[in-house]
Amino acid sequence: MIPAAFEYLRADTVEEALAALAELGDEAKLMAGGHSLLPMMKLRLAFPATVVDLGRLAELCYQRLDGDEVAIGALTRHCELVSSPLLAREVPLLPHVAARVGDRQIRHRGTIGGSLAHADPAADLPVAVRALGGTIVVRGPDGERHIDVADFFVDYFETALAPDEMLVEIRVPRCGAQGWAYQRFARRSHDWAIVAAATVGGRVALANMANVPTRATATERALASGASIEQAAALAADGTEPSADGHADAEYRRHLARLLTRRALESAAA
Ligand SMILES: Cc1cc2nc3c(=O)[nH]c(=O)nc-3n(C[C@H](O)[C@H](O)[C@H](O)COP(=O)(O)OP(=O)(O)OC[C@H]3O[C@@H](n4cnc5c(N)ncnc54)[C@H](O)[C@@H]3O)c2cc1C
Work out the percent of the chain whose per-residue pLDDT is above 90: 94
**Closest ligand 1 atom number to CA of residue 31:** 30
Measure Cα distances from 172 to 12, 148, 184 in Å: 27, 10, 21
Asked if 156 and 221 sit in the same domain, the reply is no
Q: What is the distance in A from the centroid of ligand 1 to the CA of 226?
A: 39
What average pLDDT does the structure give for the chain? 96
Asked if 166 and 65 sit in the same domain, the reply is yes
Q: Is 189 among the domain residues?
A: yes
3-state SS, residue 253: helix
Residues 6+ positions from 5 with CB-CB distance below 8 Å? none
* pLDDT over threshold 80, residue 1: no
* pLDDT over threshold 90, residue 144: yes
- Return the CATH number at 234: 3.30.390.50
Q: Exposed, middle or buried: residue 146 (CB in 10 Å: 0-12, 13-18, 19+)? A: exposed
Asked if 157 and 78 sit in the same domain, the reply is yes
Range of the domain at 18: 7-53
- Interatomic CA distance for residues 186 and 37, integer angstroms: 23
Looking at per-residue confidence, does 183 or 1 come out higher? 183
Asked if 73 and 157 sit in the same domain, the reply is yes
Q: Is 129 among the domain residues?
A: yes
Residues 6+ positions from 157 with CB-CB distance below 8 Å? 118, 119, 120
Contact 45, 66 (CB under 8 A): no
Asked if 137 and 200 sit in the same domain, the reply is no
Q: Is 96 among the domain residues?
A: yes
Q: Which of 21, 101, 152 to mutate to test the pocket of ligand 1 (most atoms within 8 A of CB)?
A: 101
pLDDT band of residue 152 (cuts 50, 70, 90) is: very high
| Residue 13: count of CB within 10 angstroms of its CB | 12
Q: How many domains does the chain divide into?
A: 3
Asked if 154 and 243 sit in the same domain, the reply is no
**Closest ligand 1 atom number to CA of residue 78:** 17
Q: Is 125 among the domain residues?
A: yes
Asked if 67 and 168 sit in the same domain, the reply is yes
Asked if 158 and 134 sit in the same domain, the reply is yes
**Closest ligand 1 atom number to CA of residue 40:** 29
